[in-house]
Structure 1
Amino acid sequence: MGKGAVSYEELTDDNGRVYRVGETSQDILGRSRTWMVWLPWLAMVAVSVFEYGWGAVVDTLESNYGWSLSDVFWLASVWAVFQAGVAFPAGRLRESGRVSARSAMLVGAVLSGIGYFTIANSGNLFLAFLGYSVLGGTGAGMVYATCINMVGKWFPEKRGGLTGFVNGGFAYGSVPFIYIFSALLHPTNYSIILTLVGLYMLVVVAVCGFFFKDPPKNWWPAGVDPRPKATGSRSLVVNPPAVRQFSTVEAIRTGMLPLMWVCLVIIGGVSLFGINFQVPFAKASGFGPFIAASSAGVLSIVNGTGRALVGWVSDRIGRRQTLTSVLVIAAVAQFGVLWSGNTHNTPVFMFFAFLVGFGGGAFYPLFASLVPDYFGENNNASNYGLVYSAKLIGGVGGGGLAAAVVNAWSYTGAYCLAGGIALLSALLTLFLRQPGRQDTTTTTSPATPAIGTTA
């Protein structure tokens, strides 16, 4: 029984999993849990310019600061390392109660702003690595991880579509900036434009983060029965709740978390390669600035909207099945971009830019949903943080190492390599299974039915 005016029940199913039911989001937040969709989405939109706008700003930084292609893409690689690397320790701090979701967001807002303030006002490469890559990457990573975990905790019964929606903001939120950077950025105004971008991120993320709050441990929405057959939920039938709450060590021992990590290392590197080299390859293929910028814009829009779409699909056909399909599409897209670029076929190039965007981002919300599906919500911040840390390796591969591959093997060798390893990642996902569940179409019944009003 809960303390105070609001009561709850703790129901235990046949697997020993506990569900805390009876409290609505109004009881906990003082408002609808829908706020925990829109606020994370808006914050993700704000920080999206870091990753998806970088390819459009690199020419200006090279020409103004005298940096090489390798310099700017190693900046992106180190940024990706810190952006992904902070997710696990930040998750552990949140789950231990030492750092609240609000505090994580406020710190992330300040560090994100510092990232763009640094490259806007200094051409010193060391300071750029420190301010943009290390601090900016850490800040963006704290925002990303907190937002993704927030929506998954508040919507455990339909996390696929909503996690995809929030995750999508991290891609298409950068589209206006891609065009601004490509069309307006020049030596006389780059400092003020990049400074304003940093200020925009700081303010938007801080305001959104101020209202963040996690639900209690084991919380389940009032009025939503966790038994698939009882509630008739298609999503819970094809993606049944985890059989229990796994600690990070227990999740590793199942073998499934390490397998997810390996898959994400591979496809994460392919995704970042596509993002970072879309504009440079388009220009190298003889396409004009508008087509180059438009291909990056299409990539970002589809990358974002595709995340919401696959989340919705995964709620209906299953998370793992959707993930495998997405990775196959990502592989095919690499070969298509290469062929259409080498043949200077603009319509086909734009079509495959569309597929690169779709396949290169849609897997992120699927992994973000698979982790709590397999291991539960209580330790999701650290469990997903560990899986997401795969981007540490993928970031290096898709940025600095990819630039070296391009220099050594040309774009042909780089795109062929990317397509081949994307297919390997798709193959590995076929071995993913929910730990402890023999029948993936049903779930055991709680000892007492979950009764309450819809949050």
Structure 2
Amino acid sequence: MVGRWVVILAGFLLNLMLGIVYAWSVFVKPLTQVFGWSVTVASLPYSIFLLVFAFLMPLAGKAQDRAGPRKVAMLGGALLGVGFLLSGFIEVIRSPYWLVLTYGVIAGAGCGLGYACPIPVARKWFPERPGLATGLVVMGFGLSALLFAPIERMLIKAYGVGSTFHILGAVLLIVAVLAASMLRNPPEGYVSRSPEQKVTVAKSTEAKPEGIARRDLTSSEMVRDVRFYILWLSFFFMALAGLMVIGHIAPYAQEQGIDPLAAAFAVSALSALNALGRPGAGAISDRIGRAKTMFMLFLVQAITLIAFPHVAVSLATLYICAAIIGFNFGANFSLFPTATGDLFGIKHLGANYGLVFTSYGVGGLVGPIMAGYIFDVTGRYDLAFLAAGVLAFIAAFLSLTLRRRR
């Protein structure tokens, strides 16, 4: 039988490949300079990737619930690599719609299929620490830009945009499919042998006023529960804010006069804390509860976003603000899937979290395009950060309604 830590490692590695989308902002300036596109147009493939990724999640979740994670994740890894390889022909075709199709639709579909699998698997292998286990596998997704952003910057400078896509596509195809092949569900009747399980579960249950699901709800039952819509809206607001920053932080930094390579490392700083926020927030929420953790981190995110264009004007303050935003954004990806399992059960978690995750796709469509449009019209990002901060405040107070519900 595959050991449960091998499964965690496989999920982490798969997510490390899937999360390359978070390094997209490195491509924005080269695309505008080489092809003469506006920032809004250069943001479109990224937004479509996120939309397709998220809206394929419910179908991918159902598929992995029924067929198991291995086949679904391997197909996802293959599509991700092929999408990047095809994107490499952009210097021949020279149309933003080619990247929308290859990067946005094909690679985005691969990401949705791959991402749907490790989260339910991790939760099933670690019933005593669901927040931490989920955080560890999705940590790879957040860490991805730390690895890929400087690599992409160096590859673009040395070989150009098209060849960079080709090189990345080959790496993604091999590593993602290999990692996906190691995913397995635990056997029927599996119970963790951890000596801490009973104590941990007891503490976790006491810490969460929102409670553990008394029974497993199907997707059709979940959508009739008001808590689903609270989760959906909260995730939408937080995803919009975080994805807006991820998609524009490199060009924002360059507008402040920061060197392009140093700007790429701002993406890496955000990515590093994005990665740490996933297991970090998951472990915290296992102890003090999902709703309380959500409120605290969402409130800090709101304050940071509103202050960002006034504070992040030097390299040091840019890195500090990017790190705070990254940690709080990463927290979403352990808090929301574990909250979904807490509230609605784990039997149908793949499909149920897939529906909650559609909010991420809508946020990914709206946030980056909104910021690009505001910049194209005003020449500044100030209003975009203000809007994102206000929405994060709303998400913080929505989370309190989960805590009050008994």
Mapped to 2, the partners of 1:232 and 1:156 lie a distance apart of: 8
1:105 is matched by which residue type in structure 2? Answer: A
Q: Secondary structure at the match of 2:37?
A: coil
1:264 is matched by which residue type in structure 2? Answer: F
Equivalence map 1:187-226=2 (5 Å): 188-215=159-186, 219-223=189-193
Query: Displacement of 1:291 after TM fit?
Result: 3.1
* Contact persistence 2:42–2:96 (CA under 8 A): no
Residue aligning to 1:179 = 150
Equivalence map 1:430-449=2 (5 Å): 430-433=400-403, 438=406
- Say how many residue pairs are matched: 400
Mapped to 2, the partners of 1:289 and 1:131 lie a distance apart of: 26
Query: Cα 1:233–1:245, aligned 2, differ >3 Å: closer, same or farther?
Result: same
Mapped to 2, the partners of 1:376 and 1:227 lie a distance apart of: 18
Q: Secondary structure at the match of 1:48?
A: helix
Equivalence map 1:282-321=2 (5 Å): 282-321=253-292
Mapped to 2, the partners of 1:434 and 1:161 lie a distance apart of: 24
Query: Cα 1:312–1:259, aligned 2, differ >3 Å: closer, same or farther?
Result: same
Query: Displacement of 1:68 after TM fit?
Result: 2.5
Match of 2:335 among 362, 366, 383: 366
Mapped to 2, the partners of 1:432 and 1:111 lie a distance apart of: 37
Query: Displacement of 1:373 after TM fit?
Result: 1.1
Match of 1:59 among 15, 29, 37: 29
* Contact persistence 1:336–1:349 (CA under 8 A): no
Residue aligning to 1:428 = 398
Query: Cα 1:226–1:384, aligned 2, differ >3 Å: closer, same or farther?
Result: farther
1:111 is matched by which residue type in structure 2? Answer: L
Query: Displacement of 1:187 after TM fit?
Result: 7.1
Residue aligning to 2:366 = 397
Mapped to 1, the partners of 2:296 and 2:190 lie a distance apart of: 30
- Structure with greater Cα Rg: 1
Residue aligning to 1:111 = 79
Residue aligning to 2:226 = 255
Query: Displacement of 1:224 after TM fit?
Result: 6.2
* Contact persistence 2:51–2:364 (CA under 8 A): yes
Query: Displacement of 1:180 after TM fit?
Result: 1.9
Residue aligning to 2:112 = 141
1:155 is the counterpart of 2:155: no
Relative to structure 2, which stretch is displaced further, 163-172 or 397-406? 397-406
- CA deviation digits over 1:26-75, x for unaligned, max 9? xxxx132122211100100112112x110012222333333321112111
Mapped to 1, the partners of 2:159 and 2:6 lie a distance apart of: 41
Mapped to 2, the partners of 1:333 and 1:370 lie a distance apart of: 24
- CA deviation digits over 1:230-264, x for unaligned, max 9? x7743343245421111112222221111101111
Query: Cα 1:211–1:407, aligned 2, differ >3 Å: closer, same or farther?
Result: same
Q: Identity over the aligned pairs, expressed in percent? A: 26
- With normalisation by structure 2, the TM-score equals 0.92
- CA deviation digits over 1:365-408, x for unaligned, max 9? 10011111111110000110000011121011112232112333
1:49 is the counterpart of 2:49: no
C-alpha RMSD of the superposition: 2.2
Mapped to 1, the partners of 2:225 and 2:248 lie a distance apart of: 37
* Contact persistence 2:204–2:286 (CA under 8 A): yes
- CA deviation digits over 1:117-154, x for unaligned, max 9? 12212233222211110111010111111122221222
Structure 2 residue runs of 5 or longer lacking an equivalent are none
Relative to structure 2, which stretch is displaced further, 148-157 or 118-127? 118-127
Mapped to 2, the partners of 1:321 and 1:180 lie a distance apart of: 38
* Contact persistence 2:73–2:114 (CA under 8 A): yes
1:33 is the counterpart of 2:4: yes
1:419 is the counterpart of 2:389: yes
Equivalence map 1:333-348=2 (5 Å): 333-341=304-312, 344-348=313-317
Greater helix proportion = 2
Mapped to 2, the partners of 1:315 and 1:426 lie a distance apart of: 19
Query: Cα 1:211–1:69, aligned 2, differ >3 Å: closer, same or farther?
Result: same
Q: Secondary structure at the match of 2:149?
A: helix
Query: Cα 1:43–1:88, aligned 2, differ >3 Å: closer, same or farther?
Result: same
1:101 is matched by which residue type in structure 2? Answer: P
Mapped to 2, the partners of 1:131 and 1:55 lie a distance apart of: 17
1:75 is matched by which residue type in structure 2? Answer: P
Q: Secondary structure at the match of 1:106?
A: helix
Query: Cα 1:121–1:434, aligned 2, differ >3 Å: closer, same or farther?
Result: farther
Query: Displacement of 1:216 after TM fit?
Result: 5.4
* Contact persistence 1:156–1:220 (CA under 8 A): no
Query: Displacement of 1:281 after TM fit?
Result: 1.0
Residue aligning to 1:4 = none
* Contact persistence 1:174–1:300 (CA under 8 A): yes
Relative to structure 2, which stretch is displaced further, 420-429 or 281-290? 281-290
Mapped to 2, the partners of 1:250 and 1:228 lie a distance apart of: 29
Q: Secondary structure at the match of 1:392?
A: helix
2:341 is matched by which residue type in structure 1? Answer: P
* Contact persistence 1:340–1:346 (CA under 8 A): no
2:363 is matched by which residue type in structure 1? Answer: G
